[in-house]
Structures are given as C-alpha cells and as structure tokens.
Amino acid sequence: MDFVLANCTHAVSFSAKHRSLKGRTKTVRGRKHRFSVIRVSNSAAEFSGSKVASSGDKKDWQVAKSSTALELLDIERGVCIPFRKYSPETVRNKVLESRGAVLSLISRGVEIVWNLGLYWSILMYDCFVGRDEEVVPFRARQLRKLLCDLGPSFIKAGQVLANRPDIIREDYMNELCILQDDVPPFPNEVAFSIIEEELGRPLEAVFSKISSQTIAAASLGQVYRATLRDSGEDVAIKVQRPKIEPIIYQDLFLFRTLASFLNGISLQKLGCNAELIVDEFGEKLLEELDYTLEARNLEDFIENFKNDPTVKIPRVYKQLSGSRVLVMEWIDGIRCTDPQAIKDAGIDVDGFLTVGVSAALRQLLEFGLFHGDPHPGNIFAMRDGRIAYVDFGNVAVLSQLNKQILIDAVVHAVNEDYAEMANDFTRLGFLAPGTDVAPIIPALEAIWQNSAGKGLSDFNFRSVTGKFNQLVYNYPIRIPERFSLVIRSLLTQEGICFTLKPNFKFLEVAYPYVAKRLLTDPNPALRERLIQVLFKDGMFQWKRLENLIVLAKENVVKMSSNPALQKKDLQGSRQVVNKLDLKDTIKDGARLFLIDEGIRRQLLLALTEDSQLHVQELVDVYRLLEDQIDIPSMALEVARDFPSVVRDLMLAWTESVLSDR
C-alpha cells in the first residue's frame, strides 16, 4: 500500500507494507512529530527508483527533479525529516541572492579551483615520474593541511572522507583522521564577542569566570569552561567559528555543481549519483551549524537514558544558548584514554567497559539516535562508574526499520545465512535496489568466517572493518552517511576499550548484550528474531538457547558490578539488580505456543527430534533459569494475561474457520 508523507520538503511516496502509519505519531530524532498521512490518488504519479512524483505542473516537476537525491534519502532511511535546513534550492537561493553574493561565490570558486588544481597537478606529476607510491605519506599530510587552509566545510569533508573507504584509499584516510581531533582554534576575543552577541549581555553579567584557553577546538567551533554567576555551577560554552555560514553555503553549492558532472562515474562505482553524497553531507553539516538542534539532541539523549543509571548526559541551559552558542553542564570526569586514573579512582575496568559497549549498542539497536563522534575528548568515566557523553552536534539517526534490519543482519550472521546478509545490505542502502548480490555473498562469507570463525578471542571490529573496506573498494557499495558515523563511532569506542584493556574482546561484551536483549526486550518484533536464531534448517538449536541464556546472565553480572547499578532501598542499604527480566518473554512464548499453530508444531517437533524426547535439554535449560525466575510472581503474571490469551485464541480460531470456508 502506497502512502504520501506530508510535511516533507517534497511529498514522497513509498511502500508501507510492513508499517501501519494511519494517524500514528512518527518518531524522528527522538522527538514526536505529527505527520498527516494520506492515500495516493490515482491521478498522482508514483515515485519509484529515479521517477519523481509529479502534479503535472512543469515548475513543480523541475523542483522535484532537483531534489531527487533528498527524496531517495528519505525513502532509504524510512524517516521523513520535517523542516530540514538543507535543500539544493535553499543553498542556490542563498549564494545567488544578489550581485555581490555571486561575485563572492566566483571568488571562492577561483580560490578552491586554484588550490585543489595545484595539488592535483602535483599528484599527476608524481604519477608521471613514477614516484606516486613512495610520496603518499607526504602528499596525505599536504592534503590535510590544504583542507585546513580552505576552511570549515573542507575540514568537515576531510573528517567524512576519513571514514569513507568507498571514496578514498586507506593511507589517506588514516592521515585525515587527525582532523577529527586536531583543528587550530580561533582568537579568544572573537569567541567572547560572539558569546556576548548571543547573550545580549556582557560576559561578566553571566559568568563569574571563564577559561583563558580553549578546552577543545573543532571544525565548526570551540569550547571554554566557565562558572555561572547566579548559581556557581560550572558549565561548558561551545561557540561557533565566526562568519562561516556564508562560506559553507558557497562550498555546498560548488560541491553539488561539481557532483552533477560526476553522476555517471558515481553511479558506475558506487551505485548512486554523486549529488546524493553531497546532499547527505550538506544536510548533516547544516544541522551541526545550528546549535539549537544540538540542544534538542541533548534533550533527546537525556530522555532516552533517563532510566539508565549507568549513563550521564549533560543538561543544557537553553536560556543561555542560541544558534551560535551552546551552554551546557560541565562534566567532571576522567578521560577514557587514561587507564591509570580510572583504576586510581577505584572504577572496575571490566564493568565500565560493559557499561560503555551496552550504552553504544542501546543507541544503535534500541533508540536509533546514535552519538556520531565519540572520540576520547567526548567520552568520560565518572567516579561513580557511569559513562558520560558530551558534544551532540553530530548524531546518526536510524529508523525503526533500519534498526530491525541491523538486528536481522546479526541473526543472519549467527545463522551463517550470507545470502540474506547481502540482501540486508541492499535494504540498508549500501547497495542500489536491483543490484546482483551473488558476487558479494562469497566475499561476505570469507570476511565473517575469517574474523569470527576462530572464536571470540580473535575477533575485533577493526579487523572486520578493514576487510569490509576492501569489499567496498571492489564492489559498487556506497556507505550511507549515517552508517559511516556508526562505523566510525564503533571503531573509536573499540579503540578506547583497547586503551583501557589491551586484550579487550568486542564480541565478548557485545554478544552478551545482544543475547540479553533478544531474551528480555519487550519489543514483540524481537521475538521473531529470537525464533529465527533458535531454529536452523527446521531444527531447534538447544545448545544455542543455552548459550544465549549463559551470555545474557554474564551481561547482567558484569553490569551489576558497576556501582551506578546498585540501587538503594528504603533502609539505605544497596540492592544489586542481577537477574534477567524474562516475564515478557515467557508470557509471549506461552501466547505464541497457544495461538500460533506453526510455532506450536515446531516446538513439539523440537521436543521429539531424532525420534527421542528431549527431556534432558529441557531440564538443562530450566536449571540455567531457575535462579532467574520467581515462579509465584510469574504464575500471577500469566494468570493476569490469561483472559487476553483466551480472547486472541478465540479470534485466531474464528479466523481459521472463516478462511476455510
């Protein structure tokens, strides 16, 4: 069934076979927006692939055509971003609004062409004389310095390219990674002037003191530490670089103009047009440029983790913040790259690592709102065992569908179903629709088996990513911007984990979390994934079920060792939450067994496989769970749910009778 989402920049129709959107509230970026959802009339043209929905009006068709890349992004992501700051029309209007603006654009274009052209000429000369490989480290450093000289949008482009093996070679990627942590600051007097303009008051009226040196400097802004005069609270002040907005709009216009000439090459190499890559970049860049959006990101993260005592998100002072200045709570933590300081603070390293990996996976698989830049300066260990995040200008947004596909990919990896893993890549936007995945299947199998086949002890995320980079280079695979952020984030956090514990094993922490989530998450969709994991080729995997339970219990034990998870009761003593909450899983399992004939048949067959009763396996599973389940309270929960089960059973029986007729 096709629908059109209104309130988008341009209406986009897409298939909603697996999603009911009738009058439902749609969550975007952790906030709820009302979307008016209407049925596509017969007179409306359908948007499919590269076809654009048209009302027949020539002008409207031209506008829709120019924004096809953005529409593709909305369809691919499964979310429609309302009131987006970026569109090709907005950028064009900004840079062509007056004769002076056009002259400034031409001047900027000449500056860029001259500098990049000179660098390109040097590369061509290296190739001509046959020394191109031996001077790569030097040329990579030259490129990094050149991007810094060209300004914020080029620095940001370099940061993006540092995570795009589908676009740039690995040795250049490694050099550009420096741009993520080492950007020159701008003068204090300029920064303080901007802060006063945004506040509308002198600094002395708001802050009793402010640091004379920047705490951190990035591509779009820099951070100071200050103390509020009224409350005495310490805060972090993030201030934007001066006069960067006009330059960024000019650069985006020039980038997209160049991309329009490269669409043919991009389609051949990456399976998408180059304008789509620029639109992804431009949309993310303009979001980061508006600090009011970062303030909303902060509020969303606070809401997501409000019931998680292991994660600290700083609160934002919105009354002191604006589009160019952001004032937030100061985080007094320990840098995650200082293992000795963490140990001296009495923090259990293993427990803290479990908290960190679990927090990252919750963002990715549960919330769909993911911190996109968790470098060592943005993650801290609190003295009570919590993990703290700062700097929320760069976040990845994943739709509910994207999250489910990622979980499907994990399930397919566990089941060694590499054909479905390849299809998952298409569903996530890595491959263009209709791409033949047959050549990719053996490569995926080789990557996974070589990385995980030797066991958890030899697996690390960086090795898988390195092999995946080779796959991206050899096949028409595009890494969507949001997944580029996810990959960079996971790699960065794994690197931090290696700093704290050199023999850290990513899967030894991640698998227990995934196992616990499959067994305990209240989302019914995960029950389907659990069933897929437990059945392989029609055979019930008893050993796999036992392993899931053992891993889930391991996650609970590791998490409960963290002081932040030790809750106080009314008497002030501490009670550690160290059991799996299996109520929903058991209730749903009982409901499925009674109502779903196919599941009931599979489970009964599982108990009698190979012409024998698998009583011992049942006993082994019960022994693993007996210390996790409160039988009386579980029986009470099942009894409370019994009337609704009977109702669903009657409805299922009635439906089957009517369908037979």
Question: Annotated catalytic sites, by residue?
Answer: 373
Closest listed residue to residue 50, CA positions, set 25, 67, 38, 27: 67
Token pair for 287 = 């979001």
Could you tell me where the beta strands, DSSP code E, fall in 113-230? 207-210, 216-217, 221-228
- Parallel/antiparallel/unpaired status of strands 387-389 and 311-312: parallel
Dist. CA 236–CA 329, nearest whole Å = 6
- Secondary structure (H, E, C), 428-493: HCCCCCCCCCCCHHHHHHHHHHHHHCCCHHHCCHHHHHHHHHHHHHHCCCCCCHHHHHHHHHHHHH
Our separate counts of H helices and E strands in the chain read 27, 20
User: Residue for token digits 């067959």?
Assistant: 605
Longest distance between any two alpha carbons in the chain, whole Å: 85
> CB-based burial of residue 307 (10 Å sphere; 0-12 exposed, 13-18 middle, 19+ buried)?
exposed
Q: Which residues contact 3 (CB under 8 A, 6 or more apart)?
A: 13, 14, 16, 21, 37, 38, 39, 40
Long-range contacts at 199-203 (CB < 8 A, ≥ 24 apart): 199/320, 199/325
Structure token pair of residue 85: 């700051």
Tokens of 524: 């019914």
Give the pairing of strands 395-397 and 369-371: antiparallel
